[in-house]
Amino acid sequence: MMLGTVRTSLLSNYGQGYNVAANLVERAYPRAVQGELMHFAYEGLVPDRAGEVMSYHAIRASLANQFNDREFFRNNKFAFLAWRGRTSDAPTEIYVPRHMDPTQLVVVTDAGVHKNLTVNAGLNQSDNEVALITDPNKQAGSGHLVLVWDDIDSGETDSSYHFALVVDGNAGLSDADLNTLQQALAQSVNNEKSPVYLVHSMTHDGYPGD
């Protein structure tokens, strides 16, 4: 007698819910990029089947004459996107899943640091603006979009690099710390070096230390 294989869908209740943890499925991702996509990474702190949180990414950045390989956001949810050039007037769009708290988001770009964003607050038409809106393509409560505009600045060329770091909370960093981090990220990206690195074991035996 042969036994059939039982297959379970990720979705339940006709697509209204999940048979697995929601944050296994709902992830941050770039929906549109204003230039050429160079790099994207996402850390969602997703639990495995045994309930242990998987934490694989952090930010490591250096700033000339201040610090070298300083670590940020280990055990924090974040998304990091880097792109080159400017091929559209439309903004870069980063989808943020609902398990990242929209009231706590901090967005660090090559143009500045943005905190206390209000959902659907409207645009103020400032240069290099950042906005947070409900996702118009999904049902209510499904997530948000972070919109990042790159306006043409002095000295900017088709080869200029840009980035957006979206963090769920500030991890205890002061405004001065965030401004310093912004400078360090700009230095890394402009040197064509990703500030995202792996921090955890990928196998049962693990890897050597960071």
Helix, strand, coil percentages, rounded to 5, for the chain: 10, 35, 55
pLDDT in tens, 81-99: 999 999 999 999 999 999 9
- Which amino acid, one-letter code, is at 183? Q
Q: Specify the DSSP element, H or E, that contains 25.
A: helix 22-25
Please give the mean pLDDT across all residues of the chain. Answer: 87
DSSP character string of 1-20 = -PPPPP---SEETTTTEESS
What's the token pair of residue 67? 């610090």
pLDDT in tens, 10-26: 666 655 667 676 777 78
Domain ranges of the chain: 21-198
Contact 69, 147 (CB under 8 A): no
Q: How many CA atoms lie within 13 A of 138 on its CB side?
A: 16
Q: What CA–CA distance (Å, rounded) separates 70 from 150?
A: 27
Contact 69, 60 (CB under 8 A): yes
pTM here is: 0.86
Contact 77, 23 (CB under 8 A): no
pLDDT in tens, 32-70: 999 999 999 999 988 777 777 778 899 999 999 899 999
At residue 15, the pLDDT reads: 57
End-to-end CA distance of the chain: 51
